[in-house]
Chain A
Amino acid sequence: MDHRSGDDLLERVVGELRELPPIDEAQITRIVAAAQAAGRDGDERDEPGVLRLEPTGRRWTGSRGLPLAWAAALVLAAGVGGYLVGDRRGEPTVASALAPTPPARGVVAVAAAENAPRLTQFMIEAPRAERVALVGDFNGWDASMTPLVRDPSSGLWTATVALAPGRHTYAFMVDSTITLDPRAPESRDPDLGTRSSVVLVGGR
């Protein structure tokens, strides 16, 4: 995603924030009442205000309605911030990693700090290349997503992206030719029969 489309998305978000519907006092009353009722019905053994995730990952529950509502609001607000920061930087991997996507079946959210993306620098020497891009499982193998920047004096091309902890496969597109990282281990995909470079990104 380039910066221009990032700006477009930002404007859409800002536009939607501006176009929020008028406040419905009755609706607010109903929501607060429902939240309080949920709190009364909750398991009293739970710690007050603790946000819990059910084992199936299908819904969020809490022992107190209102603190839960606030926790949810804060989490969602953090999601907005993460999205904006990631998108403004032109790094969709940051956005997707920071934004808490609703869990699907059997999928849970993990602690943000533990799964926080790590900045990872990629570099290749290609002094005669006119255009170099990074492609990998973190950017959909899309050569338009992560262009590398050339240092004219050294001929080195570099890019720094935020990656989630774990194993990632990638390659460089050097003037439309796929090129492996000469300094990284290679991995052969048993299904495609192709080779990629591998980077291991650490957690905390």
Chain B
Amino acid sequence: MRHLALALVLLLPAALSAQQLAAAPDVARQRARLQRELDPATFDFVSRIVDRTAQRGLPIEPLLNGAAEGLTHRAAPAKIRLKVERMAQRLELASRALVPASRGDLEAGVEALGAGVPVATLTTIRQLRPDASVAVELGVLAQLVRSGVPLEKASAKIAELMRAGSRPAQIVALGDSVRSDVQRGYPAIEVFDARARGVLAAGSGSGNVAADGQNVEVALPGFGTSTNSPPRNNAPTASPRAPRRP
């Protein structure tokens, strides 16, 4: 018993120290970049919102990311202020709707709200999976809505898939399939219906969608994500869109 306690005492300070080191550089580095590249008024505005969010116990990384995204895209300062302000509001709403929520859940909730998904839908999705992350489901829902699938239809089908026990990997595969079909010119609503029926028919097993049998997998955006299987029809050589040459 004494050895156990000793190990705890030895590990605790070192682990806490490492946690601080792991988390601090990213936030500090992002803050430094914002201070360096934003005009002083915008930096003060963003800092106030970030500090207020931190005081409420919510993660500030999404806000810093939002401002950094604006900088990288060379967005106007007014738009960066708007982005951070709205993200903070969505973060607050998501934290109330997704209880309990991981940071990934909150970030996905912010994205979903930004895509127009109502707060009530976030609550429903949380209730359908109360003990696990819903970042994938919310992320796919946001992407489907942005792809042109009507919000009500996308929300209802995602909920149906969750009730049927579909795994997050299957829901991602659904989102990928719809995206691929839409790129080929099929109407979003029709392919969404058809692909969702396929996932439901496959059940919670591997079915005809991606089966991630390994702990670590390689996903290739644009070539079909989250699979270990051979390339599908949208492999590079068969892609209907030639790669751009910047």
State the A residues within 8 Å of B (CB).
Answer: 1, 5, 9, 12-13, 16-17, 20-21, 23, 27-28, 31-32, 35, 53, 55, 57, 66, 69-70, 72-73, 76-77, 79-80, 82-84, 86-87, 92, 95-96, 99-102, 104-111, 113-116, 118-129, 135, 137, 140-143, 160, 164-167, 169, 171, 173-175, 177-179, 181-185, 187-194, 196-204
Contact = CB atoms under 8 A, between A and B. Distances in A.
Nearest to B58: A104
Contact of B22 (A83, A120, A197): A83
A121 B216 CA distance: 12
A103 to B, nearest CB: 8
A145 B107 CA distance: 21
Interface of B: 1-2, 4-19, 21-23, 25-26, 29-30, 33, 56-59, 62, 64-66, 68-75, 79-80, 82-83, 86-87, 95-96, 99-108, 111, 114, 132-133, 135-136, 138-140, 142-143, 146-147, 167-169, 171-173, 175-176, 179, 182-183, 210, 212, 215-223, 225-226, 236, 239, 241-246
A99 B221 CA distance: 26
Contacts of A135: 72
Given A106-B57, A203-B133, A23 B6 contact: yes
B80 A192 contact: yes
15 contacts: A13-B17, A73-B8, A76-B19, A84-B18, A101-B19, A101-B23, A105-B95, A110-B104, A120-B221, A137-B65, A164-B135, A166-B108, A185-B147, A199-B225, A200-B225
A152 to B, nearest CB: 16
B60 to A, nearest CB: 9
A141 B59 contact: no
Contacts of A57: 100
A9 B8 contact: no
B106 A107 contact: yes
Contact of A164 (B26, B104, B142): B104
Nearest to A117: B216
Nearest to A137: B65
Contacts of A178: 72-74
A203 B172 contact: yes
Given A28-B9, A198-B143, A166 B221 contact: no
Given A77-B15, A166-B139, A12 B58 contact: no
